[in-house]
Copies of this chain bind each other. A is one copy, B any other.
């Protein structure tokens, strides 16, 4: 049985052309049913341009677009016919099984929360981001859905990430760490110290505070932080990777020997570029929403779009949200946890 994945054609820096190319790639490689949501004429034009049979996709017309810089809440309220709000509505009505958008992140979070609501027991949605580490993947949550976090929100992020890591990435008893400026339990803001207590008393595989360098070291599978910190961490990682890459190319290709050297090392450089490329890792799951929603990077190319669709299918095939619901309620109803939350 194949899944029906809704794809927002109007969101992303390279929409609609790269998004449609991603849909074609996914159709050819993953064989799922893909529902293209966006301006009908644009979709038809792009498919014709790429000589791809329109019959391979379903199309839902969404005449309005929410731009990348628009304020999320107002734009979702006002643009009822935008691709993002229509996608959330289709998912609510179970006309699709999941949806993927590379558009305005805030609007995706807002429309999903409003239309679909949260998984029973979950208090806030969080965006989980898979980042390459020395030994595998660090799942960092939240990277921008929730910038004014309460202890319970961060605690539940840890639970949801842990369920995701086990169910989708297939690791038994994944480790959970709390992002802080030092490893000692005495360090950090009041919020962080409170959350540390919650994790310590839970049945999660909590390894304590971790530092930002551990996102890359692979010391910890799931790394919990508030959305402001997580978003800035993500942007710093991207920014430094870009700066390093640019400097590397500028420096390395100087001089005759350098040019020959780079030519000889070309194959390896390509591998390096691939390691650095977020597109390989696909979209970020929006966890906690009562429905499967994947947020792609604004700069997603066709490969990134295809991989984001793959992430959605993985979540569906592992029945992620039912597992999250079970585990969140099991852990949060523990009397020890409730006592710490009350204190």
Residues of A bordering B, CB below 8 Å = 69, 71, 132-134, 144, 147-148, 179, 181-184, 186, 188-190, 211-217, 225, 227-229, 231-244, 246-248, 251-255, 257-258, 260-269, 271-272, 275-276
> A69 near B216 (CB under 8 angstroms)?
no
> B260 near A272 (CB under 8 angstroms)?
no
> B265 near A258 (CB under 8 angstroms)?
yes
Min CB gap A256→B, angstroms: 9
CA distance A232 to B246 in the complex (A): 23
CA distance A233 to B182 in the complex (A): 13
A247's contact among B186, B229, B253, B275, by CB below 8 Å, is which?
A: B275
Min CB gap A188→B, angstroms: 7
Contacts of A237 in B (CB 8 A): 236-237, 239-240
> A268 near B276 (CB under 8 angstroms)?
no
Interface pairs (15), CB distance under 8 Å: A69-B183, A71-B184, A132-B243, A133-B243, A147-B181, A237-B240, A247-B272, A251-B268, A251-B271, A252-B265, A255-B267, A257-B267, A260-B261, A261-B266, A262-B265
> B147 near A188 (CB under 8 angstroms)?
yes
Contacts of A216 in B (CB 8 A): 239-240, 242-243
Contacts of A255 in B (CB 8 A): 267-268
> A236 near B228 (CB under 8 angstroms)?
no
Min CB gap A93→B, angstroms: 31
A244's contact among B190, B263, B276, by CB below 8 Å, is which?
A: B276
Residue among A232, A260, A266 with most chain B CB within 10 A: A232
CA distance A190 to B149 in the complex (A): 12
